[in-house]
C-alpha cells in the first residue's frame, strides 16, 4: 500500500508567494528574488512530504499564478495579442501579462479571461483556442521542477492537467470548430513532455482529468479512451495516475474503468458510494490500482479514521493491499496550509482546533491511515489514532456545536414559512402605495468606496488604537456624508454604505453563533489573491441584531428610503468552510432563520426596503446536472425563508452579480424577491433576454454601470442601455442601478458615475409621455 498526494498549497504557509509576487509586480524586488521565493516554497513542500512519509509526492503543482496558465505556456498556446510583448520581455513577464494584462510604457494588452475552477473558489486562466491553433513545447517547467526535486533526493510524480480536460477548460475564440478537435495537434506536445520526463527517469505521472466527473458528449468521452490508449502504447513503462475529483464518474464510469492506466484516483469524500460500485462491478482491470481519496482536500475537518479505514479495508479485501493508495480527495491547494500556525486561543479555541486539519496535517493523516490499514502500526497502540478518536468523539457531542433551540426551530419550519403573506401582484400594490417611488427608481447595490482611510480605522480599532466610541464616530460621519451625497445626487433609494463591514460574509459570521475564524487559514483564490473563509462549526443562531443599528442610524438622517443590506444564507454558507457532520441544506436553513430574524427586526425598526444579497447562488450548483434540482430546491427555499417574515408593503430586493441566468431563470423567479438587481452592463443588456423570454414577473434592476472598471460611463451610454432594457422589459418593472457594490471604486469616479446614472433615469422618465397604469 502507498500514499499518494495530488497537490500541495503553493502560496507558502505565511503567504510568502503572494507577498513576493506583489512586490515583483510593483517593481520592488527582482525576478530572481521572486524565483528564489518560489524555489524555497517548493523545496520546503517536497521536504515536508518526504519527511512525513508520502510515497507519491507531486511536482509541477507549484505555480506562480495558475496551473492552467502554466500548461498554456508549456504547450505554447499563447494568444497572438501577446506576441509583440513576448519579443522584448522575459517568459516570466509574458506569463504575468497573460494573467494580468499590461497598461504601461505604451503597452496596452488585456489579460486572458479568468473563471472558476469547477465548483471551487479557485479561479483559473481560460485557455484561448483558434481553428488553426498550433501547439509546441514552449516551457519545460515541468521537467525543471522534476529535476529540482531529484537534486534534493525526492523522486516526484509530476502533475499535469490531462489533454482532454485542458482542451475542455478552454474556449473557442472563433467559429467553425470544437476545441476537442485540437486533440491530435496537442497530443504530440504531451508526448514530448513525457519523453523528456522519461529521460529523467520519471516513474509516475499524474494526469488530472476532472471533466470525467461532468456530463460529457460521446465525442468528449471517447477522447479519453483515445488519449490514454495512445499514451499507454507509446509509454508502456510510465505509470499514469489518472485523477478524477469533485464528483462521481456518473455515466463516464465504464469509460474510466477501461482506461489503461496504472492508477485511478477516486474522490471518496464527494462520492463514497462509488467505491462499492467499482468493487462490485468487477470491471476494474486487474492491473489498475485505486487511489482512495478519503481525506477531504476541500474542507478543514480532521479526518474520521474509523470511517476512512472502513473504506480502505473494503477495497483491500477485494483488491489486496498492493493495489491501494491512500490519498486526499483532491489537490490540497483548496486547504489552508498549516494548523500549527493557529496559536491564538481566543480566535480559535483549543476545543475547536482539535477538530481541524489543514494541508500539513492532512498529509500526516494519509500516512497514518496507510500505516493503520496495512497494519504497519497497530491502532491499539497508536497515540495518533487515539487522539483522532477522542477529537471526533468530542466534536460529535460538544456543547459548542449543538443548540437544541436551533434544531427544534429547523424541524418545526412549516410550509408557510417560506412564503410571503401574499403573491407579488398583491404585494406590489401595497408597495407602490407605501413607497411612492418614481418610474425607473434609482438605487445602488450597497457598498460605497472602502477607502484606505476607512480600512485604516478598522485596523486601528482592532489593534486598540481607536476606542469603540472613536471608531463608531468615524463610521457615523462617513455614513452621514454618503447619505448626503445620495440625497444631493437625487438617488431614490439610499444605502448606508457598508463602511462598518470588512467583508460581506465575515461581517455576519463574526456576529452569528456557530462561526469561528482562523488567523492564517488562507486559501488561494486566484493569482496572488487569497481568501480566509470563516469556519461554520456549529448550529447557527443570531444572538443579537447585526445590522439594525447602522440601518436605523442611516434612516434617521433622511426622509428618503434607506435600503437595509444583508448577505443571504446561500452566500454566507458558500463562502465559508462548512460543517461536514450535517447536510449543507441543514446548515443553510439555520443561517436562513438567523437572517429572517434580522429582516424582521429591520422591518420593526422602520426599514421598508431590505436587500438580501445572493451572489453565490449560482456557483453552488453541483457539477452534475442531475443534482441541480435538489440543490436549487433547498437553496431557493432558504432564501425564501430568510425573506418571508415581513409584511406585503416591505420590499425585498436581492442581488446577483454574474451573467448566466438562462438555465436557472425559473429558480430565480421562484425566489420571489420583489426586485432583483443583476450585472448587465458588460454584456450590453444581452443577459436581460433570459428575463424577457421567460416573462420574469417581478421588478428588475439591470446594472448600467460596470463597477469592475475605473471608467466613468456617460449618461448617454446609460440611456442607451436603459432603452435596450425597456425594449424587452415593461418600464414599470425597471430599476436603475450599478452592476454591483462600489467598495472597490474611488469616490471621484463613483460620484461622476452616479450623477450620470440619475440623469439617465430622469431622461427615461421624461421620455414617457403618458402615465403608465400600474
Ligand atoms: N451589498 C454588497 C456590496 O455592495 C454586494 C456585493 C456583491 O454582490 N458581491 O458590496
Ligand atoms: Zn454583486
447 is in an annotated binding site: yes
Task: Specify the pLDDT at position 186.
Answer: 98
Q: Give the DSSP letter string of 305-370.
A: HHHHHHHHHHHHHHH-GGGEEEEESS-GGGS-S-GGG---TTTS-HHHHTTB--HHHHHHHHHHHH
Task: Specify the pLDDT at position 347.
Answer: 85
Cα(575) to ligand 2 centroid in Å equals: 14
What is the C-alpha separation between 537 and 534, in angstroms, rounded? 9
Is residue 708 among the annotated active site residues?
A: yes
Ligand 1 nearest-atom number relative to CA 567: 1
Averaged pLDDT, 657-682: 90
575 is in an annotated binding site: yes
Buried b (16+ CB within 10 A) or exposed e, 343-362: eeeeebeebbbbbbbbbbbb
743 is in an annotated binding site: no
Q: Is 648 helix (H, G, I), strand (E, B) or coil?
A: coil
Question: Which ligand lies nearest the alpha carbon of 740?
Answer: 2
619 is in an annotated binding site: yes
Task: Specify the pLDDT at position 110.
Answer: 86
Spot the catalytic one: 144, 178, 402, 708: 708
pLDDT band at 92 (very low <50, low <70, confident <90, very high): very high
Q: Which residues line ligand 1 (CB under 6 A)?
A: 445-447, 498, 504, 565, 613, 615, 655, 657, 740-741, 743
pLDDT over threshold 70, residue 773: no
Q: Which of 75, 79, 244 is nearest to 163 (CA)?
A: 75
For ligand 1, mutation pick of 121, 443, 444, 445 (most atoms within 8 Å of CB): 445
Task: Specify the pLDDT at position 769.
Answer: 61
Ligand 1 nearest-atom number relative to CA 445: 4
Buried b (16+ CB within 10 A) or exposed e, 537-546: bbbbbbeebb
Task: Specify the pLDDT at position 659.
Answer: 65
| Longest CA span, the chain | 86
Task: Specify the pLDDT at position 348.
Answer: 93
Question: Atom 4 of ligand 1 has which residue's CA nearest to it?
Answer: 741
Question: Atom 1 of ligand 1 has which residue's CA nearest to it?
Answer: 446
Ligand 1 nearest-atom number relative to CA 447: 4
For ligand 1, mutation pick of 741, 743, 745 (most atoms within 8 Å of CB): 741
740 is in an annotated binding site: yes
Residue % of the chain over a pLDDT of 70: 99
pLDDT over threshold 90, residue 709: no
What is the C-alpha separation between 681 and 721, in angstroms, rounded? 7
Question: Which ligand lies nearest the alpha carbon of 744?
Answer: 1
Ligand 1 nearest-atom number relative to CA 565: 1
pLDDT digits (tens, 9 = 90+) for 486-499: 999 999 999 999 99
pLDDT digits (tens, 9 = 90+) for 254-312: 999 999 999 999 999 999 999 999 999 999 999 999 999 999 999 999 999 999 999 99
pLDDT digits (tens, 9 = 90+) for 554-575: 999 999 999 999 999 999 999 9
Averaged pLDDT, 37-61: 98
Task: Specify the pLDDT at position 52.
Answer: 98
Task: Specify the pLDDT at position 774.
Answer: 44
Task: Specify the pLDDT at position 212.
Answer: 98
What is the C-alpha separation between 483 and 211, in angstroms, rounded? 49
If one compares 105 and 145, the residue with the highest pLDDT of the two is 145
CATH number for region 404-451+491-766: 3.20.20.210
Question: Atom 6 of ligand 1 has which residue's CA nearest to it?
Answer: 741
Query: Is 753:712 a contact under the CB 8 Å cutoff?
Result: yes
530 is in an annotated binding site: yes
User: What residues pair up with 351 in beta bridges, in sequence order?
Assistant: none
pLDDT band at 620 (very low <50, low <70, confident <90, very high): very high
Cα(84) to ligand 1 centroid in Å equals: 38
Average pLDDT in the chain: 96
Cα(700) to ligand 1 centroid in Å equals: 16
pLDDT band at 165 (very low <50, low <70, confident <90, very high): very high
pLDDT over threshold 60, residue 771: no
> Checking phi first, is residue 490 left (phi over 0); if not, alpha (psi -120 to 50) or beta?
left
pLDDT over threshold 60, residue 431: yes
Averaged pLDDT, 428-454: 97
Cα(731) to ligand 2 centroid in Å equals: 23
pLDDT over threshold 70, residue 725: yes
Task: Specify the pLDDT at position 107.
Answer: 74
Task: Specify the pLDDT at position 685.
Answer: 86
Question: Which ligand lies nearest the alpha carbon of 497?
Answer: 1
Q: Is 561 helix (H, G, I), strand (E, B) or coil?
A: strand
Domain boundaries, the chain: 404-451+491-766
> Checking phi first, is residue 613 left (phi over 0); if not, alpha (psi -120 to 50) or beta?
beta
Cα(590) to ligand 1 centroid in Å equals: 22
Residue % of the chain over a pLDDT of 90: 93
Cα(50) to ligand 2 centroid in Å equals: 44
Q: How far is CA 49 from CA 9, 239, 481, in A?
A: 12, 20, 54
pLDDT digits (tens, 9 = 90+) for 171-203: 999 999 999 999 999 999 999 999 999 999 999
pLDDT digits (tens, 9 = 90+) for 210-266: 999 999 999 999 999 999 999 999 999 999 999 999 999 999 999 999 999 999 999
Amino acid at each position: 500500500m502507498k500514499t499518494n498526494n495530488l497537490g500541495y498549497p503553493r502560496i507558502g504557509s505565511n503567504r510568502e508567494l503572494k507577498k513576493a509576487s506583489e512586490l515583483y509586480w510593483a517593481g520592488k524586488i527582482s525576478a530572481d528574488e521572486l524565483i528564489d521565493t518560489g524555489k524555497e516554497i517548493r523545496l520546503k513542500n517536497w521536504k515536508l512530504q518526504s519527511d512525513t512519509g508520502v510515497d507519491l509526492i507531486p511536482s509541477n503543482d507549484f505555480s506562480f499564478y495558475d496551473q492552467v496558465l502554466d500548461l498554456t505556456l508549456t504547450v505554447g498556446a499563447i494568444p497572438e495579442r501577446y506576441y509583440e510583448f513576448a519579443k522584448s520581455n522575459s517568459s516570466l513577464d509574458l506569463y504575468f501579462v497573460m494573467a494580468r494584462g499590461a497598461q504601461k510604457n505604451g503597452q496596452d494588452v488585456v489579460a486572458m479571461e479568468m473563471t472558476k475552477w469547477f465548483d471551487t473558489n479557485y479561479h483559473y486562466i481560460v485557455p484561448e483556442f483558434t481553428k488553426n491553433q498550433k501547439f509546441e513545447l514552449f516551457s519545460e517547467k515541468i521537467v525543471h521542477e522534476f529535476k529540482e526535486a531529484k537534486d534534493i533526493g525526492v523522486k516526484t510524480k509530476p502533475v499535469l492537467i490531462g489533454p482532454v480536460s485542458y482542451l475542455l477548460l478552454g474556449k473557442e475564440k472563433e467559429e467553425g470548430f470544437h476545441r476537442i478537435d485540437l486533440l491530435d495537434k496537442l497530443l504530440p506536445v504531451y508526448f514530448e513532455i513525457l519523453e523528456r520526463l522519461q529521460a529523467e527517469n520519471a516513474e509516475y505521472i499524474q494526469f488530472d482529468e476532472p471533466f470525467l466527473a461532468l456530463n460529457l458528449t460521446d465525442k468528449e468521452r471517447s477522447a479519453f479512451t483515445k488519449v490514454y490508449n495512445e499514451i499507454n502504447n507509446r509509454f508502456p513503462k510510465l505509470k499514469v495516475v489518472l485523477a478524477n475529483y469533485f464528483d462521481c464518474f456518473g455515466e463516464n464510469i465504464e469509460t474510466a474503468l477501461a482506461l489503461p492506466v496504472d492508477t485511478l484516483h477516486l474522490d471518496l469524500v464527494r462520492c463514497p458510494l462509488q467505491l462499492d460500485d467499482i468493487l462490485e462491478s468487477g470491471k476494474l482491470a486487474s492491473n489498475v490500482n485505486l487511489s482512495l481519496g478519503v481525506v477531504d482536500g476541500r474542507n478543514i475537518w480532521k479526518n474520521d479514521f474509523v470511517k476512512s479505514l472502513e473504506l480502505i479495508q473494503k477495497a483491500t479485501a477485494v483488491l489486496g493491499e498492493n493495489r491501494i493508495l491512500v490519498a486526499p480527495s483532491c489537490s490540497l491547494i483548496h486547504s489552508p496550509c498549516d494548523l500549527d500556525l493557529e496559536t491564538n486561543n481566543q480566535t480559535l479555541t483549543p476545543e475547536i482546533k482539535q477538530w481541524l486539519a489543514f494541508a500539513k496535517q492532512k498529509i500526516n493523516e494519509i500516512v497514518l491511515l496507510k500505516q493503520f490499514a496495512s497494519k504497519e502500526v497497530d491502532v491499539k497502540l497508536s497515540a495518533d489514532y487515539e487522539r483522532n478518536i477522542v477529537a471526533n468523539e468530542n466534536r460529535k457531542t460538544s456543547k459548542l456545536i449543538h443548540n437544541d433551540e436551533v434544531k427544534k426551530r429547523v424541524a418545526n419550519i412549516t410550509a408557510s414559512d417560506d412564503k410571503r403573506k401574499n403573491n407579488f401582484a398583491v404585494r406590489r400594490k401595497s408597495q407602490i402605495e407605501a413607497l411612492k417611488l418614481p418610474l425607473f427608481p434609482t438605487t445602488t447595490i450597497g457598498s460605497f468606496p472602502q477607502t484606505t482611510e476607512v480600512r485604516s480605522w478598522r485596523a486601528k480599532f482592532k489593534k486598540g488604537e481607536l476606542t469603540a466610541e472613536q471608531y463608531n464616530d468615524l463610521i457615523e460621519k462617513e455614513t452621514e456624508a454618503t447619505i448626503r451625497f445620495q440625497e444631493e445626487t437625487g438617488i431614490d433609494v439610499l444605502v448606508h454604505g457598508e463602511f462598518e463591514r470588512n467583508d460581506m460574509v465575515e461581517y455576519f459570521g463574526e456576529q452569528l453563533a456557530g462561526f469561528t475564524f482562523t488567523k492564517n487559514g488562507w486559501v488561494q483564490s486566484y493569482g496572488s489573491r487569497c481568501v480566509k473563509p470563516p469556519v461554520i462549526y456549529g448550529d447557527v443562531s443570531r444572538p443579537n441584531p447585526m445590522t439594525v443599528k447602522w440601518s436605523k442610524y442611516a434612516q434617521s438622517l433622511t426622509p428618503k428610503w434607506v435600503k437595509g443590506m444583508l448577505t443571504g444564507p446561500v452566500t454566507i454558507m458558500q463562502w465559508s468552510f462548512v460543517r461536514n457532520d450535517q447536510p449543507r441544506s441543514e446548515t443553510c436553513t439555520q443561517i436562513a432563520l438567523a437572517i429572517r430574524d434580522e429582516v424582521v427586526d429591520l422591518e420593526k425598526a422602520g426599514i421598508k426596503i431590505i436587500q438580501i444579497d445572493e451572489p453565490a447562488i449560482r456557483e453552488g450548483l453541483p457539477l452534475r446536472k442531475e443534482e441541480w434540482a435538489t440543490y436549487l430546491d433547498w437553496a431557493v427555499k432558504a432564501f425564501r425563508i430568510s425573506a418571508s417574515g415581513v409584511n406585503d408593503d416591505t420590499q425585498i430586493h436581492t442581488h446577483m452579480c454574474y451573467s448566466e441566468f438562462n438555465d436557472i431563470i425559473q429558480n430565480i423567479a421562484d425566489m420571489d424577491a420583489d426586485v432583483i438587481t443583476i450585472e448587465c452592463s458588460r454584456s450590453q443588456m444581452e443577459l436581460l433576454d433570459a428575463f424577457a423570454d421567460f416573462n420574469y414577473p417581478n421588478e428588475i434592476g439591470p446594472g448600467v454601470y460596470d463597477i469592475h472598471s475605473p471608467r466613468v460611463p456617460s449618461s448617454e451610454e446609460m440611456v442607451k442601455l436603459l432603452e435596450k432594457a425597456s425594449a424587452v422589459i415593461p418600464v414599470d418593472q425597471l430599476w436603475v442601478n450599478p452592476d454591483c457594490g462600489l467598495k472597490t471604486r474611488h469616490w471621484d469616479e463613483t460620484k461622476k458615475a452616479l450623477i450620470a446614472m440619475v440623469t439617465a433615469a430622469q431622461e427615461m422618465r421624461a421620455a414617457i409621455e403618458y402615465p403608465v397604469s400600474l
